[in-house]
Amino acid sequence: NAGVTQTPKFRVLKTGQSMTLLCAQDMNHEYMYWYRQDPGMGLRLIHYSVGEGTTAKGEVPDGYNVSRLKKQNFLLGLESAAPSQTSVYFCASSPSGFTRTDTQYFGPGTRLTVL
């Protein structure tokens, strides 16, 4: 099993450009999450999904959109990138919340720079 994978690993954008970050998991997990990590700020939740076709807002959703068309994939979109979105983005997944298994498994991260 590859676990949680993220594409791309690095990206540089100009202000106003758009891009999509792809997260894929092969563990048949129901829940998937997108976080951003900034120095001194820890991990902040952007959006999450509790199942295929569902999405919900997290702590810092503004400027981002997500889609979960397939159970194994969770896409994070930036429609018009801003320098404030320069960050490291992590995807995570976890089994169904209705079991007593809450462990979240993280991907390796995507380092995004917006100039």
Partner 1 sequence: GENVEQHPSTLSVQEGDSAVIKCTYSDSASNYFPWYKQELGKGPQLIIDIRSNVGEKKDQRIAVTLNKTAKHFSLHITETQPEDSAVYFCAAKSTYATPLVFGKGTRLSVIA
Footprint of partner 1 on this chain (CB under 8 A)? 4, 31, 33, 40-45, 48, 50, 58, 90, 92, 96-99, 102-109
Minimum CB–partner distance for residue 12 and partner 1 (Å): 17
- The answer to whether 25 and 6 have CB atoms below 8 angstroms apart is no
CB nearer to partner 1: pick between 78 and 107? 107
- C-alpha pair distances (Å), 13 with each of 19, 56, 82, 89, 115: 8, 26, 9, 14, 6
Q: How far is the CB of 87 from partner 1 (least distance, A)?
A: 14
- How far apart CA 46 and CA 59 sit, in angstroms, is 6
Show the tokens assigned to 30.
């129901």
Please answer whether residues 46 and 61 qualify as being in contact, where contact means their C-beta atoms are separated by less than 8 angstroms.
Answer: yes
CB of 74 to partner 1, least distance (A): 13
For partner 1, the closer of residues 85 and 110 by Cβ is 110
Compare residues 13 and 47 and give the one whose CB is closer to partner 1: 47
